[in-house]
Protein backbone atom coordinates (compact mmCIF):
# COMPACT_ATOMS: atom_id res chain seq x y z
CA UNK A 1 0.00 0.00 0.00
CA UNK A 2 1.44 3.38 -0.90
CA UNK A 3 2.12 5.94 1.79
CA UNK A 4 0.03 8.45 -0.05
CA UNK A 5 -2.96 6.12 -0.03
CA UNK A 6 -2.58 5.48 3.70
CA UNK A 7 -2.28 9.18 4.41
CA UNK A 8 -5.41 10.04 2.47
CA UNK A 9 -7.28 7.22 4.21
CA UNK A 10 -6.27 8.66 7.58
CA UNK A 11 -7.33 12.11 6.45
CA UNK A 12 -10.76 10.91 5.40
CA UNK A 13 -11.12 9.01 8.66
CA UNK A 14 -10.18 12.16 10.54
CA UNK A 15 -12.70 14.28 8.68
CA UNK A 16 -15.48 11.77 9.31
CA UNK A 17 -14.60 11.70 13.02
CA UNK A 18 -14.53 15.48 13.44
CA UNK A 19 -17.65 15.86 11.36
CA UNK A 20 -19.43 13.18 13.38
CA UNK A 21 -18.68 14.76 16.74
CA UNK A 22 -19.61 18.14 15.28
CA UNK A 23 -23.02 16.71 14.36
CA UNK A 24 -23.46 15.35 17.84
CA UNK A 25 -22.58 18.70 19.37
CA UNK A 26 -25.05 20.37 17.04
CA UNK A 27 -27.71 17.87 18.08
CA UNK A 28 -27.10 18.47 21.79
CA UNK A 29 -27.16 22.24 21.22
CA UNK A 30 -30.39 21.90 19.23
CA UNK A 31 -32.02 19.80 21.97
CA UNK A 32 -31.04 22.46 24.54
CA UNK A 33 -32.54 25.26 22.42
CA UNK A 34 -35.71 23.19 22.00
CA UNK A 35 -35.98 22.71 25.78
CA UNK A 36 -35.52 26.46 26.32
CA UNK A 37 -38.26 27.12 23.77
CA UNK A 38 -40.42 24.44 25.42
CA UNK A 39 -39.97 26.04 28.83
CA UNK A 40 -40.87 29.49 27.55
CA UNK A 41 -43.99 28.16 25.82
CA UNK A 42 -44.95 26.20 28.91
CA UNK A 43 -44.75 29.21 31.20
CA UNK A 44 -46.81 31.31 28.80
CA UNK A 45 -49.46 28.77 27.81
CA UNK A 46 -49.69 25.97 30.36
CA UNK A 47 -48.51 27.05 33.83
CA UNK A 48 -51.78 28.85 34.68
CA UNK A 49 -53.40 25.43 35.00
CA UNK A 50 -50.58 22.88 35.25
CA UNK A 51 -48.42 25.01 37.59
CA UNK A 52 -44.91 26.42 37.15
CA UNK A 53 -43.42 23.23 38.58
CA UNK A 54 -45.68 21.01 36.49
CA UNK A 55 -47.38 19.67 39.62
CA UNK A 56 -50.92 20.47 38.43
CA UNK A 57 -51.29 23.24 41.01
CA UNK A 58 -51.52 26.31 38.78
CA UNK A 59 -53.49 29.34 40.05
CA UNK A 60 -56.57 28.24 38.05
CA UNK A 61 -56.54 24.61 39.19
CA UNK A 62 -58.76 25.08 42.26
CA UNK A 63 -61.65 26.33 40.15
CA UNK A 64 -61.59 23.40 37.74
CA UNK A 65 -63.57 20.24 38.41
CA UNK A 66 -61.43 18.08 36.13
CA UNK A 67 -57.99 18.80 37.56
CA UNK A 68 -55.06 19.68 35.30
CA UNK A 69 -52.51 16.85 35.04
CA UNK A 70 -49.64 16.67 37.54
CA UNK A 71 -46.71 15.98 35.21
CA UNK A 72 -44.27 15.10 38.03
CA UNK A 73 -45.67 11.56 38.37
CA UNK A 74 -45.07 10.60 34.73
CA UNK A 75 -48.53 8.98 34.76
CA UNK A 76 -50.40 9.77 31.56
CA UNK A 77 -54.00 8.96 30.65
CA UNK A 78 -53.77 9.28 26.89
CA UNK A 79 -51.19 6.86 25.57
CA UNK A 80 -50.68 4.43 22.72
CA UNK A 81 -48.47 2.38 25.08
CA UNK A 82 -49.55 -0.45 27.44
CA UNK A 83 -50.98 0.19 30.91
CA UNK A 84 -48.35 1.49 33.35
CA UNK A 85 -45.93 2.58 30.61
CA UNK A 86 -44.69 6.08 29.98
CA UNK A 87 -46.29 7.69 26.90
CA UNK A 88 -44.48 8.09 23.59
CA UNK A 89 -43.58 11.69 22.64
CA UNK A 90 -46.19 11.52 19.89
CA UNK A 91 -48.90 10.74 22.47
CA UNK A 92 -48.13 13.94 24.37
CA UNK A 93 -47.95 15.85 21.08
CA UNK A 94 -51.35 14.45 20.06
CA UNK A 95 -53.00 15.62 23.29
CA UNK A 96 -51.40 19.07 23.07
CA UNK A 97 -52.62 19.39 19.46
CA UNK A 98 -56.12 18.01 19.99
CA UNK A 99 -56.87 19.01 23.55
CA UNK A 100 -59.12 16.87 25.76
CA UNK A 101 -62.72 17.51 24.75
CA UNK A 102 -65.23 18.31 27.53
CA UNK A 103 -62.39 19.60 29.78
CA UNK A 104 -60.64 22.97 30.06
CA UNK A 105 -57.68 21.48 28.17
CA UNK A 106 -58.15 23.12 24.75
CA UNK A 107 -56.27 22.22 21.59
CA UNK A 108 -53.14 24.38 21.69
CA UNK A 109 -53.33 25.54 18.08
CA UNK A 110 -52.05 29.02 18.87
CA UNK A 111 -48.70 27.18 18.82
CA UNK A 112 -46.91 26.06 15.65
CA UNK A 113 -46.21 22.36 15.16
CA UNK A 114 -42.57 22.93 16.12
CA UNK A 115 -43.61 24.73 19.31
CA UNK A 116 -46.03 21.92 20.24
CA UNK A 117 -43.23 19.35 19.87
CA UNK A 118 -40.93 21.54 21.99
CA UNK A 119 -43.44 21.87 24.82
CA UNK A 120 -44.37 18.16 24.63
CA UNK A 121 -40.70 17.27 25.15
CA UNK A 122 -40.33 19.87 27.87
CA UNK A 123 -43.16 18.23 29.88
CA UNK A 124 -40.95 15.16 30.27
CA UNK A 125 -38.39 17.14 32.31
CA UNK A 126 -40.93 17.35 35.15
CA UNK A 127 -40.74 13.62 35.89
CA UNK A 128 -37.52 11.76 36.66
CA UNK A 129 -39.18 8.60 35.29
CA UNK A 130 -38.25 9.74 31.79
CA UNK A 131 -34.55 9.58 32.74
CA UNK A 132 -34.65 5.98 33.89
CA UNK A 133 -37.47 4.30 31.92
CA UNK A 134 -38.29 3.97 28.25
CA UNK A 135 -41.87 4.03 26.94
CA UNK A 136 -42.98 0.55 25.84
CA UNK A 137 -43.97 -0.29 22.28
CA UNK A 138 -47.45 1.00 21.31
CA UNK A 139 -50.38 -1.43 21.51
CA UNK A 140 -51.17 -2.51 17.96
CA UNK A 141 -54.47 -1.43 16.45
CA UNK A 142 -55.54 -3.90 13.77
CA UNK A 143 -57.93 -2.76 11.02
CA UNK A 144 -61.57 -2.50 12.11
CA UNK A 145 -63.58 -5.50 10.85
CA UNK A 146 -66.21 -4.56 8.27
CA UNK A 147 -69.17 -6.46 9.73
CA UNK A 148 -70.29 -3.63 11.98
CA UNK A 149 -73.91 -4.70 12.43
CA UNK A 150 -73.14 -8.19 13.79
CA UNK A 151 -70.45 -6.69 15.98
CA UNK A 152 -72.91 -4.35 17.68
CA UNK A 153 -75.00 -7.29 18.95
CA UNK A 154 -71.91 -9.20 20.03
CA UNK A 155 -70.41 -6.04 21.58
CA UNK A 156 -73.51 -5.51 23.70
CA UNK A 157 -73.10 -8.98 25.23
CA UNK A 158 -69.37 -8.39 25.64
CA UNK A 159 -70.05 -5.10 27.43
CA UNK A 160 -71.98 -6.87 30.20
CA UNK A 161 -69.67 -9.90 30.28
CA UNK A 162 -66.50 -7.81 30.65
CA UNK A 163 -68.09 -5.80 33.48
CA UNK A 164 -68.11 -2.41 31.75
CA UNK A 165 -71.66 -2.01 33.08
CA UNK A 166 -70.46 -1.93 36.71
CA UNK A 167 -69.02 1.52 36.12
CA UNK A 168 -70.54 2.77 32.87
CA UNK A 169 -74.05 1.48 33.67
CA UNK A 170 -76.30 -1.13 31.99
CA UNK A 171 -77.02 1.18 29.03
CA UNK A 172 -73.73 3.06 29.07
CA UNK A 173 -75.14 6.16 30.76
CA UNK A 174 -72.37 6.36 33.32
CA UNK A 175 -74.61 5.16 36.16
CA UNK A 176 -73.20 1.75 37.08
CA UNK A 177 -73.36 0.34 40.62
CA UNK A 178 -69.79 1.50 41.44
CA UNK A 179 -70.10 4.83 39.59
CA UNK A 180 -70.37 6.96 42.74
CA UNK A 181 -67.41 5.45 44.57
CA UNK A 182 -64.73 5.95 41.93
CA UNK A 183 -61.63 8.06 42.67
CA UNK A 184 -58.59 8.89 40.58
CA UNK A 185 -55.03 8.32 41.83
CA UNK A 186 -54.99 11.71 43.58
CA UNK A 187 -58.14 10.82 45.50
CA UNK A 188 -60.43 13.13 43.52
CA UNK A 189 -63.87 11.71 42.66
CA UNK A 190 -64.08 10.70 39.00
CA UNK A 191 -67.22 9.83 37.04
CA UNK A 192 -67.28 6.97 34.54
CA UNK A 193 -67.96 8.40 31.09
CA UNK A 194 -71.55 8.50 29.86
CA UNK A 195 -70.88 6.57 26.66
CA UNK A 196 -74.15 7.61 25.02
CA UNK A 197 -72.99 11.23 24.63
CA UNK A 198 -70.51 12.78 22.20
CA UNK A 199 -67.81 14.04 22.06
CA UNK A 200 -65.33 11.69 23.77
CA UNK A 201 -62.16 12.85 25.50
CA UNK A 202 -59.92 10.43 23.67
CA UNK A 203 -60.94 11.53 20.16
CA UNK A 204 -63.76 10.97 17.64
CA UNK A 205 -62.49 7.95 15.69
CA UNK A 206 -63.17 4.24 16.30
CA UNK A 207 -59.40 3.82 16.67
CA UNK A 208 -59.41 6.28 19.57
CA UNK A 209 -61.96 4.15 21.46
CA UNK A 210 -60.06 0.97 20.59
CA UNK A 211 -56.87 2.53 21.94
CA UNK A 212 -58.54 3.61 25.22
CA UNK A 213 -60.10 0.17 25.81
CA UNK A 214 -56.74 -1.46 25.07
CA UNK A 215 -54.43 0.80 27.09
CA UNK A 216 -56.78 1.95 29.84
CA UNK A 217 -56.48 5.47 31.25
CA UNK A 218 -53.63 5.42 33.78
CA UNK A 219 -54.29 7.34 36.97
CA UNK A 220 -58.04 6.56 36.72
CA UNK A 221 -60.13 3.45 37.48
CA UNK A 222 -60.56 2.80 33.72
CA UNK A 223 -58.65 -0.49 33.29
CA UNK A 224 -56.71 -1.83 30.31
CA UNK A 225 -58.34 -4.73 28.46
CA UNK A 226 -55.40 -5.59 26.20
CA UNK A 227 -54.79 -8.84 28.11
CA UNK A 228 -58.35 -9.79 29.05
CA UNK A 229 -60.07 -9.29 25.68
CA UNK A 230 -59.13 -10.33 22.14
CA UNK A 231 -58.85 -7.78 19.33
CA UNK A 232 -62.19 -9.06 18.00
CA UNK A 233 -63.88 -8.50 21.37
CA UNK A 234 -62.42 -5.01 21.66
CA UNK A 235 -63.58 -4.03 18.15
CA UNK A 236 -67.07 -5.35 19.00
CA UNK A 237 -67.11 -3.11 22.07
CA UNK A 238 -66.12 -0.13 19.91
CA UNK A 239 -68.95 -0.92 17.47
CA UNK A 240 -71.40 -1.16 20.37
CA UNK A 241 -70.25 2.14 21.91
CA UNK A 242 -70.45 3.92 18.52
CA UNK A 243 -74.00 2.58 18.16
CA UNK A 244 -75.16 4.04 21.50
CA UNK A 245 -73.21 7.34 21.29
CA UNK A 246 -75.98 9.04 19.37
CA UNK A 247 -76.58 12.26 21.29
CA UNK A 248 -74.50 15.41 21.75
CA UNK A 249 -73.55 16.64 25.21
CA UNK A 250 -75.37 19.81 26.27
CA UNK A 251 -73.70 22.83 24.72
CA UNK A 252 -72.89 26.02 26.56
CA UNK A 253 -71.57 29.36 25.39
CA UNK A 254 -70.57 29.31 21.70
CA UNK A 255 -71.35 25.63 21.48
CA UNK A 256 -68.56 24.71 23.87
CA UNK A 257 -69.07 21.53 25.87
CA UNK A 258 -68.64 21.07 29.63
CA UNK A 259 -65.53 22.67 31.06
CA UNK A 260 -64.31 23.85 27.64
CA UNK A 261 -66.02 27.13 28.57
CA UNK A 262 -63.74 27.56 31.61
CA UNK A 263 -60.84 26.67 29.35
CA UNK A 264 -61.78 29.49 27.01
CA UNK A 265 -61.95 32.05 29.84
CA UNK A 266 -58.48 31.08 31.03
CA UNK A 267 -56.93 30.40 27.68
CA UNK A 268 -58.42 32.90 25.21
CA UNK A 269 -55.59 32.58 22.72
CA UNK A 270 -56.03 28.83 22.39
CA UNK A 271 -59.80 29.29 22.08
CA UNK A 272 -59.40 31.89 19.31
CA UNK A 273 -56.84 29.79 17.49
CA UNK A 274 -59.23 26.84 17.72
CA UNK A 275 -61.97 28.87 16.10
CA UNK A 276 -59.70 30.11 13.33
CA UNK A 277 -58.57 26.57 12.65
CA UNK A 278 -55.12 27.02 14.12
CA UNK A 279 -52.07 29.04 13.21
CA UNK A 280 -51.63 28.85 9.48
CA UNK A 281 -54.68 27.01 8.20
CA UNK A 282 -56.35 23.77 9.21
CA UNK A 283 -54.23 20.74 8.72
CA UNK A 284 -50.87 22.14 9.73
CA UNK A 285 -50.72 19.87 12.75
CA UNK A 286 -49.90 16.81 10.70
CA UNK A 287 -53.54 15.82 10.33
CA UNK A 288 -53.76 14.55 13.89
CA UNK A 289 -55.97 17.15 15.45
CA UNK A 290 -58.02 17.97 12.42
CA UNK A 291 -60.91 15.64 13.13
CA UNK A 292 -61.22 16.82 16.73
CA UNK A 293 -60.89 20.43 15.68
CA UNK A 294 -63.42 20.13 12.90
CA UNK A 295 -65.83 18.58 15.40
CA UNK A 296 -65.23 21.37 17.88
CA UNK A 297 -65.67 24.03 15.23
CA UNK A 298 -68.94 22.47 14.12
CA UNK A 299 -70.09 22.57 17.75
CA UNK A 300 -69.09 26.24 18.00
CA UNK A 301 -70.87 27.21 14.79
CA UNK A 302 -73.98 25.40 16.04
CA UNK A 303 -73.86 23.00 13.09
C1 LIG B 1 -57.19 26.01 31.15
C2 LIG B 1 -56.38 25.03 31.81
C3 LIG B 1 -55.30 24.31 31.02
C4 LIG B 1 -54.31 24.86 30.24
C5 LIG B 1 -54.04 26.32 29.96
C6 LIG B 1 -53.54 23.74 29.74
N7 LIG B 1 -54.05 22.56 30.21
FE8 LIG B 1 -53.31 20.70 29.83
N9 LIG B 1 -54.84 19.87 30.92
C10 LIG B 1 -55.79 20.58 31.62
C11 LIG B 1 -56.70 19.65 32.26
C12 LIG B 1 -57.89 20.02 33.11
C13 LIG B 1 -56.25 18.35 31.92
C14 LIG B 1 -56.84 17.03 32.38
C15 LIG B 1 -57.83 16.42 31.41
C16 LIG B 1 -58.31 15.09 31.90
O17 LIG B 1 -57.72 14.53 32.81
O18 LIG B 1 -59.29 14.59 31.36
C19 LIG B 1 -55.09 18.53 31.08
C20 LIG B 1 -54.37 17.48 30.51
C21 LIG B 1 -53.21 17.63 29.77
C22 LIG B 1 -52.47 16.54 29.18
C23 LIG B 1 -52.88 15.08 29.23
C24 LIG B 1 -51.92 14.23 30.00
C25 LIG B 1 -52.37 12.78 30.06
O26 LIG B 1 -52.76 12.35 31.14
O27 LIG B 1 -52.34 12.08 29.04
C28 LIG B 1 -51.37 17.09 28.55
C29 LIG B 1 -50.27 16.36 27.81
C30 LIG B 1 -51.46 18.53 28.74
N31 LIG B 1 -52.60 18.82 29.47
C32 LIG B 1 -50.53 19.44 28.26
C33 LIG B 1 -50.71 20.81 28.28
C34 LIG B 1 -49.79 21.76 27.67
C35 LIG B 1 -48.48 21.38 27.02
C36 LIG B 1 -50.34 23.00 27.82
C37 LIG B 1 -49.80 24.30 27.31
C38 LIG B 1 -49.33 24.38 25.94
C39 LIG B 1 -51.59 22.83 28.55
N40 LIG B 1 -51.77 21.50 28.81
C41 LIG B 1 -52.44 23.88 28.91
C42 LIG B 1 -55.91 21.96 31.69
C43 LIG B 1 -55.12 22.86 31.01
C1 LIG C 1 -63.82 0.36 37.43
C2 LIG C 1 -64.63 1.21 36.61
C3 LIG C 1 -64.58 1.07 35.11
C4 LIG C 1 -64.73 -0.07 34.35
C5 LIG C 1 -64.94 -1.50 34.83
C6 LIG C 1 -64.68 0.36 32.97
N7 LIG C 1 -64.50 1.71 32.90
FE8 LIG C 1 -64.35 2.81 31.18
N9 LIG C 1 -63.96 4.47 32.29
C10 LIG C 1 -64.01 4.54 33.67
C11 LIG C 1 -63.77 5.91 34.07
C12 LIG C 1 -63.75 6.42 35.50
C13 LIG C 1 -63.56 6.66 32.90
C14 LIG C 1 -63.35 8.15 32.79
C15 LIG C 1 -61.91 8.57 32.79
C16 LIG C 1 -61.78 10.06 32.60
O17 LIG C 1 -62.75 10.78 32.41
O18 LIG C 1 -60.65 10.52 32.60
C19 LIG C 1 -63.69 5.70 31.79
C20 LIG C 1 -63.53 6.05 30.45
C21 LIG C 1 -63.81 5.21 29.40
C22 LIG C 1 -63.70 5.58 28.01
C23 LIG C 1 -63.16 6.90 27.47
C24 LIG C 1 -64.22 7.84 27.00
C25 LIG C 1 -63.65 9.13 26.47
O26 LIG C 1 -64.20 10.18 26.78
O27 LIG C 1 -62.68 9.09 25.72
C28 LIG C 1 -64.12 4.50 27.27
C29 LIG C 1 -64.20 4.40 25.75
C30 LIG C 1 -64.45 3.45 28.20
N31 LIG C 1 -64.25 3.91 29.48
C32 LIG C 1 -64.92 2.20 27.84
C33 LIG C 1 -65.02 1.13 28.73
C34 LIG C 1 -65.32 -0.23 28.33
C35 LIG C 1 -65.66 -0.67 26.92
C36 LIG C 1 -65.25 -1.00 29.46
C37 LIG C 1 -65.39 -2.48 29.58
C38 LIG C 1 -64.60 -3.32 28.69
C39 LIG C 1 -64.93 -0.11 30.57
N40 LIG C 1 -64.82 1.16 30.09
C41 LIG C 1 -64.81 -0.50 31.89
C42 LIG C 1 -64.25 3.50 34.53
C43 LIG C 1 -64.42 2.18 34.17
218 lies in the same domain as 256: no
Which atom of ligand 1 approaches the CA of 102 most closely? Answer: 18
Which atom of ligand 2 approaches the CA of 209 most closely? Answer: 29
The rounded distance, in Å, linking the Cα atoms of 221 and 33 is 38
pLDDT at site 14 = 64
The tally of domains found in the chain comes to: 2
Tell me the ligand closest to 216's alpha carbon. 2
Task: State whether the beta carbon of 124 lies less than 6 angstroms from ligand 1.
Answer: no
117 lies in the same domain as 162: no
Which atom of ligand 2 approaches the CA of 77 most closely? Answer: 18
232 lies in the same domain as 299: no
236 lies in the same domain as 166: yes
Q: Which of 37, 43, 48, 49 to mutate to test the pocket of ligand 1 (most atoms within 8 A of CB)?
A: 49
The domain boundary, picked from 206, 222, 248, lies at 248
Q: How far is the centre of ligand 1, averaged over its atoms, from the C-alpha of 14 (Å)?
A: 48
User: What CATH number has the domain bearing residue 231?
Assistant: 1.10.760.10
Look at ligand 1, atom 13, and give the residue with the nearest C-alpha: 68
The domain boundary, picked from 248, 264, 293, lies at 248
257 lies in the same domain as 153: no
Question: Could you state, in chain order, the average pLDDT of each consecutive group of 10 residues for the chain (303 residues)?
Answer: 71 67 80 93 97 97 95 98 98 97 96 97 98 97 93 97 98 97 93 97 96 98 98 98 96 90 90 68 41 66 57
In a domain, 16, yes or no: no
Which atom of ligand 1 approaches the CA of 123 most closely? Answer: 35
Task: State whether the beta carbon of 201 lies less than 6 angstroms from ligand 1.
Answer: yes
> Based on C-alpha coordinates, what's the Rg of the chain?
23
- What's the first-to-final CA gap in the chain, in angstroms? 78
Tell me the ligand closest to 193's alpha carbon. 2
Look at ligand 1, atom 32, and give the residue with the nearest C-alpha: 96
What is the domain extent for residue 179? 148-248
In a domain, 29, yes or no: yes
User: What CATH number has the domain bearing residue 86?
Assistant: 1.10.760
Task: State whether the beta carbon of 164 lies less than 6 angstroms from ligand 2.
Answer: yes
Tell me the ligand closest to 269's alpha carbon. 1
Look at ligand 1, atom 29, and give the residue with the nearest C-alpha: 92
pLDDT at site 7 = 74
The rounded distance, in Å, linking the Cα atoms of 249 and 241 is 15
The domain boundary, picked from 231, 248, 265, lies at 248
pLDDT at site 272 = 82
244 lies in the same domain as 259: no
pLDDT at site 85 = 98
Q: How far is CA 197 from CA 25, 44, 125, 193, 194, in A?
A: 51, 33, 36, 9, 6
The 3 state secondary structure assigned to the chain is CCHHHHHHHHHHHHHHHHHHHHHHHHHHHHHHHHHHHHHHHHHHHCHHHHCCCCCCCCCCHHHCCCCCCCHHHCCCCCCCCCCCCCCCHHHHHHHHHHCCCCCCCCCCCCCCHHHHHHHHHHHHHHCCHHHHCCCCCCCCCCCCCCCHHHHHHHHHHHHHHCCHHHHHCCCCCCCCCCHHHCECCCCCECCCCCCCEECCCCCCCHHHHHHHHHHCCCCCCCCCCCCCCCHHHHHHHHHHHHHHCCEECCECHHHCECCHHHHHHHCHHHHHHHHCCCCCCCCCCCCCCHHHHHHHHHHHCCC
In a domain, 282, yes or no: yes
Q: How far is the centre of ligand 2, averaged over its atoms, from the C-alpha of 115 (Å)?
A: 31
198 lies in the same domain as 159: yes
Task: State whether the beta carbon of 162 lies less than 6 angstroms from ligand 2.
Answer: yes
**Residues 178 and 167 sit within 8 Å (Cβ to Cβ):** yes
44 lies in the same domain as 133: yes
Amino acid sequence: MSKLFLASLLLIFGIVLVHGSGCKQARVARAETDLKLGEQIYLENCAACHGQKGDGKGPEADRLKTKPRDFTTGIYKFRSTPSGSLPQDKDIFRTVSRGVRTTSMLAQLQLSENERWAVAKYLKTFSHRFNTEKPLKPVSIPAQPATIREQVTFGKTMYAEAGCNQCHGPEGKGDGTSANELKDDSGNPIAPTNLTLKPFKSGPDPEDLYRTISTGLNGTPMPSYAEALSAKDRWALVAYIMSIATRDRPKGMMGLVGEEVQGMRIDMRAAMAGMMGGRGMMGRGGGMMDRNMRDMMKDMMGR
